[in-house]
Amino acid sequence: MTAARLPRVQLIIEYGFAAAVFAAIIYSLWFLSQFGYLPQPFFYDYGDTWMDWFNPAYWSHQPGAYDAYMTIYPPLSYAILKFITWGPCYVNAEGGWSRDCDVYGAISLHLIWVACVVLTGLTLRKVDRRTWLPRSFALGFGLPMLWGLDRGNLVMLAYICVLLAYGPLLRSARLRWLFAGMAINLKIYLIGTVFTQLLYRRWRWFEGTLVATLSVYLVSYMIFGSGSPAEIYHNILDYSNGLVIDNPLDLWMASSLHPLMALLDSAQFPSTLYVGSRIAEFGSTALPIITLAAQGTILAAAAAVWWRPNIAPRHRLIALSIGIALMTTEVSGYTETLVILFVFMERFEGIGRRVAILLSYLVCIPADISIDRLPPMVKESFLGGRPVVAEYMVQLGPFIRPMLFIAIPVALALVSLRAFAADLRTDGWRPSWRFRNDARLLARPGAPISPV
């Protein structure tokens, strides 16, 4: 295949994946109209739609977010929710009544999703005009983003802040620091994005972001009135120690292997009866090794970038920092948007980058492959507005999707390590202490820029 024909093949592949995302969305909407609920791989509790939005919103208007609700979110989330939801709808008990009442909150939720889609398109168009359309569509309408919308999770607000902080849309460094600080106050595991700046010796950026993070926390703490560091720390500790997976349905959409490992080790769920003792024992041993190997590969790539900053663009290190945080903790699959955004800033060149991009497209397809059937259950569907008979399927996605997602940052880490080895052969072991906009990274017209 000639180099001249490669871009056309690339566009066919990328538009093909975007078409697969579109087809799966159409099927899901048809399924909803026929059966009254969204099909797998969307969330299995069909009466719990948007409740990651309305449950915290209740506690933004009522006392007890940190001692009764035991939230792990910093106070910024509740300060924002208090402003964009309708207070009179939260005078009664927490639950579905508030969701049915608060039309203002539902509109705010969907406007945030629209902002995610629009800003994604503007960002990726600025990065590469040849590929922005299929990548923007796959990310904005793909499974991770729609999963976040279906759950009503605050990850969409964090996504906007990350995009503005580390994307190419804003020129002001101070505004970037502000949005980076807001992102960390929305999702604490994004703290690693700040430390990537140290790999490029960007001391002022690092200090400015830390100051912004602390300032945003203090202001939101004063506005909301609770959420001290001690409260957040103890709630996070209780949450991490209280992880119990005793139901295969809890594997529905995960970005790490921790739920699967917890299910294999569960005393309540007899996994050996379904997969056999050998497979269960092998999984309990192999899955932690896979996670540790992936983490080690990413850390090795980070060390290589610290030694030679020119081997990787800065947006790649943002993806690696978020990726290692997500595979280390137990978070749902909507967080994958935060990594895929920066993967889609890569060029479709080389084996590693192509693997990362194609796996990102694959993860975005809101469809799955069924291998078995579970007994039907009667469920109350919020979107259907009625009780429905839900037929749950055992599907491949919950078992392989975390592996696919882990492979994405690992592929980019290997690309950086290969570039590091090539750089050593050329220039020797002498470290490079200054990052340049390396012509090798930005040589072609329309090639991705390093946004931050």
Render pLDDT for 104-123 as a digit per residue (tens, 0 to 9): 999 999 999 999 999 999 99
Work out whether strand 377-381 and strand 386-390 pair parallel, antiparallel, or are unpaired: antiparallel
Question: Is the omega angle on the peptide bond into residue 56 within 30 degrees of 0, that is, cis?
Answer: no
pLDDT of 93 above 80: no
Those residues whose C-beta lies under 8 Å from the C-beta of residue 34, and which sit 6 or more positions away, are none
Spatial distance between the Cα atoms of 306 and 37, rounded to a whole number of angstroms: 49
Q: What is the pLDDT averaged over residues 348-365?
A: 96
The pLDDT tens digits of the residues spanning 275-290 come to 556 666 777 788 889 9
Spatial distance between the Cα atoms of 237 and 184, rounded to a whole number of angstroms: 18
CA dihedral over 165, 187, 341, 146, signed as positive or negative: negative
Mapping DSSP onto H, E and C, the string for 167-184 reads CCCCCCHHHHHHHHHHHH
Give 241's pLDDT tier (boundaries 50, 70, 90): low
* Total number of domains constituting the chain: 1
Which contiguous run of DSSP H or E holds residue 92? none
Which contiguous run of DSSP H or E holds residue 50? none
> Worst-scoring range by mean pLDDT, 231-240, 380-389, 410-419?
231-240
Q: What is the pLDDT of residue 4?
A: 45
The structure tokens 């799955």 sit at 368
356, amino acid identity: A
Most confident range (mean pLDDT) of 62-76, 79-93, 141-155, 382-396 is 141-155
442 DSSP β-pair partners: none
Give the three-class secondary structure for 235. Answer: helix
pLDDT of 199 above 80: yes
Q: What is the pLDDT of residue 98?
A: 86
The structure tokens 């590693």 sit at 352
Residue 227 included in any domain:
yes
Q: What is the pLDDT of residue 269?
A: 61
Exposed, middle or buried by CB within 10 Å (0-12, 13-18, 19+), for 429? Answer: exposed
Residue 436 included in any domain:
no
379 DSSP β-pair partners: 388
Give the three-class secondary structure for 385. Answer: coil
Are 316 and 166 a contacting pair, CB within 8 Å?
Answer: no
Residue 446 included in any domain:
no
The pLDDT tens digits of the residues spanning 359-398 come to 999 999 999 988 878 888 899 999 998 999 988 888 888 8
The percent of residues above 90 in pLDDT, for the chain, comes to 63
Q: What is the pLDDT of residue 295?
A: 96
Q: What is the pLDDT averaged over residues 64-84?
A: 92
Those residues whose C-beta lies under 8 Å from the C-beta of residue 43, and which sit 6 or more positions away, are 49, 147, 150, 151, 252, 253
Are 144 and 333 a contacting pair, CB within 8 Å?
Answer: yes
Q: What is the pLDDT of residue 92?
A: 74
> Worst-scoring range by mean pLDDT, 247-256, 426-435, 436-445?
436-445
Give the three-class secondary structure for 172. Answer: coil
pLDDT of 248 above 80: no
Residue 208 CA to chain centroid, in angstroms? 25
Those residues whose C-beta lies under 8 Å from the C-beta of residue 66, and which sit 6 or more positions away, are 226, 227, 228, 231, 232, 235
Spatial distance between the Cα atoms of 191 and 183, rounded to a whole number of angstroms: 9
Range of the domain at 175: 12-427
More confident residue, 221 or 264: 221
More confident residue, 48 or 373: 48
pLDDT of 263 above 50: yes
Those residues whose C-beta lies under 8 Å from the C-beta of residue 81, and which sit 6 or more positions away, are 53, 56, 57, 60, 105, 154
Q: Which two tokens stand for residue 20?
A: 């697969």
Q: What is the pLDDT averaged over residues 135-150?
A: 96
List alpha helices for 225-276, DSSP H.
229-241, 258-264, 271-275
Residue 110 included in any domain:
yes
pLDDT of 267 above 70: no
Residue 440 included in any domain:
no
Give 446's pLDDT tier (boundaries 50, 70, 90): very low
Q: What is the pTM of this model?
A: 0.91
pLDDT of 425 above 60: yes
Maximum Cα interatomic distance, the chain, rounded to a whole number of Å = 68
What mean pLDDT value characterizes the chain? 87
251: Cα within 13 Å, side-chain hemisphere: 25
Are 155 and 338 a contacting pair, CB within 8 Å?
Answer: yes
Q: What is the pLDDT of residue 433?
A: 55
The pLDDT tens digits of the residues spanning 148-175 come to 999 999 999 999 999 999 999 999 999 9
pLDDT of 70 above 80: yes
Spatial distance between the Cα atoms of 56 and 53, rounded to a whole number of angstroms: 6
Q: Which two tokens stand for residue 228?
A: 């001290």
Q: Which two tokens stand for residue 219?
A: 């202001």
Q: What is the pLDDT of residue 423?
A: 86
Residue 77 included in any domain:
yes
The percent of residues above 70 in pLDDT, for the chain, comes to 87
Nearest Cα to 131, choosing from 212, 14, 53? 14
CA dihedral over 141, 146, 147, 148, signed as positive or negative: positive
Residue 450 included in any domain:
no
Give φ, ψ of 62 to 5 degrees: -125, 150
Residue 448 included in any domain:
no
The structure tokens 């109350």 sit at 380
